[in-house]
Chain A
């Protein structure tokens, strides 16, 4: 019986896996490649204020000067930055209510289950179609509380003071080449502002999609949680399969003020041709809590190391990371935590699965600056290798410049043991089912941290990835 059920789920997932591609209609599409002219055009097209154009142009210069990173994946050199469209604006104006959303875009979202999810569960949906947010809804009570949840382009026009105060303060363009690129050509992304003492109980959610071949997505997300507030932001990515490579290079900046709490959840399931090179960073002030929950299943190459700067006394940081690398995939993920103040604490827990020749890498940094007394941290990395073709790496750097600390790190590499399989199969499960169950068990401690609907989707996706992996 389990088999039949599983087959049905697998069938549904097979349909889902290959994504959807609705007919493309564009209001505006830039030429391939990047020049100063294109940067100016993007800014003019968005009718941006002078300061944002200046910022973009400075970032463009830095992008041209900076070399590509020489570390990381061997897939990096395959990216042809001149073969990418840097700005695409889909047809139709931004819609405030569901009725205004164009039918074909609606169809895509229907397949993803967004409206239903929204009705039942979500407090707001900001959906990114191509490089700009089309649809935004925010429940009334959030607006009344003073919560701002808009796309970042709108925020530049409507809340320039807030944007100017925080924009690029967490990830400056000089940080790395891809952050500079994003700063020059960014488009869309979410802007979230939670006023003092406000708690947003339901997760804020944004769906991202890439729909034009060779369309790079350079969204820019900025989240500010004022003193004593809390928010849970979730993003999920799906994308149709294409024949040529596309690039996704986002920047996410988060400022968590005193006593505030922010959780940022990602389910990344880009199609197998996407290069996903993302800079995500948060600053946690006094007694603040920041949590990154990061799950990477799709893409050809992901290089992403969510970071937390524990800047205020008593701040806490947590990074939970799941990575799954199938055939020809490289998930180079991890996390960075920098203890800059006394009494700060952190946890990194990373679990990875490699199968059919896939490669997972954990790359992490744990740093304790002089004076960050009584810092505590625990880093755990577990890798599961499902076959002899797959591989895994672990590169955790620990830089400790303060002696009154307690730091622990642990990493293990395992396979599915014959005994475990034998036991489960003796209870009537097929080898595939038994393997799925073991993998579920391996990931369970992290998956239970996801919102329920994500956890369900995740378990199904993993089952799909595992299909045919034994025997």
Chain B
């Protein structure tokens, strides 16, 4: 079931989603949302009962509305996460920046679809999305589809995505500074999320997330 939340005009709100589920966020003029997601799907017994997908949709209906969206996902063992973000710009001069980072070890799996949609006859909209994935084991699997549907030309729209493992050169650098391999690796993995945690305005949430991500990584 999808839950709908409306952010009223000229209001700012922060939402932290820590469980899977579908939500629709509607933004009125000048409304702002900071949306933080970090969850994994409930364990599935077999392939037949595959978990349903969490769809988080942002409708930037009001002019000058803004959305900052952060997704931080860490999976281990047989963890799975299947989710979709949609930012739909139907107002003018709206901004939505989505940043998603996924770190997978063991046999963890991630399936992500991230859509930026800019509606016809709108102007001055700005939609950006990035999705970076770090795979720490051979059996980890990642599927990522960053999509664009652009119906207006006065836009700034783009996305980027990357998939890789711990950067060997950075690892070498850290080891040359006296860290052992294990320490250097841990530091790199923490750093992968730290860049995003630093941008979260609520330090309490950022600290809690830092702790829980750490836990789910070891």
| Residue ranges of A at the interface with B (Cβ–Cβ < 8 Å) | 370, 383, 385-388, 390-413, 415
Contacts and interface: CB of A to CB of B under 8 A. Distances in A.
Nearest to B140: A403
A370 B135 CA distance: 12
A404 B165 contact: yes
B155 A415 contact: yes
A388 B158 contact: no
Interface in B140-165: 140-165
A390 B136 CA distance: 42
Among B151, B153, B155, B157: residue with most chain A CB under 10 A: B153
A408 B161 CA distance: 6
B138 A409 contact: no
A409 B148 CA distance: 13
A412 B146 CA distance: 12
B149 A393 contact: yes
Contacts of B147: 393-396
Contacts of A408: 160-162
Given A392-B148, A396-B145, A400-B133, A386 B153 contact: yes
Secondary structure type dominating chain A contacts: strand
Interface residues of B, number: 34
Contacts of A396: 145-147, 161
B138 A403 contact: yes
A388 B160 contact: no
B140 A411 contact: no
Contact of A370 (B138, B144, B158, B164): B138
Given A393-B149, A394-B147, 12 more contacts: A370-B138, A393-B147, A395-B145, A396-B146, A398-B145, A400-B143, A403-B136, A403-B138, A405-B135, A406-B164, A411-B148, A411-B158
18 contacts: A370-B139, A385-B153, A385-B155, A393-B149, A397-B143, A398-B143, A399-B141, A400-B141, A400-B142, A403-B165, A406-B163, A406-B164, A409-B159, A409-B162, A410-B158, A410-B159, A415-B154, A415-B155
Contact of B138 (A387, A395, A402): A402
Nearest to A354: B153
B159 A411 contact: yes
A401 B158 contact: no
Given A395-B147, A400-B135, A403-B136, A413 B162 contact: no
Contacts of B141: 399-401
Contacts of A406: 163-164
Contacts of A404: 138, 165
B214 interface: no
B116 to A, nearest CB: 9
A388 B149 contact: no
B164 A407 contact: yes
Interface string B148-192: 111111111111111111000000000000000000000000000
B121 interface: yes
A415 B158 CA distance: 12
Contact of A405 (B121, B148, B163): B163
A395 B161 CA distance: 12
Pairs A-B, 3 closest by C-beta atoms:
A403-B135, A385-B153, A394-B148
Interface in B31-46: none
A391 B160 contact: no
Nearest to B138: A403
Contacts of A401: 141-142
A397 B137 CA distance: 21
A390 B155 CA distance: 12
B162 A412 contact: no
B137 A393 contact: no
A392 B150 contact: yes
Contact of B158 (A400, A405, A412): A412
Contacts of B149: 391, 393
Contacts of B153: 385-388, 390, 415
Nearest to B111: A399
Interface in B68-83: none
B145 A397 contact: yes
A399 to B, nearest CB: 5
Nearest to A380: B160
A332 B105 CA distance: 36
A410 B149 CA distance: 15
B155 A413 contact: yes
Nearest to B163: A407
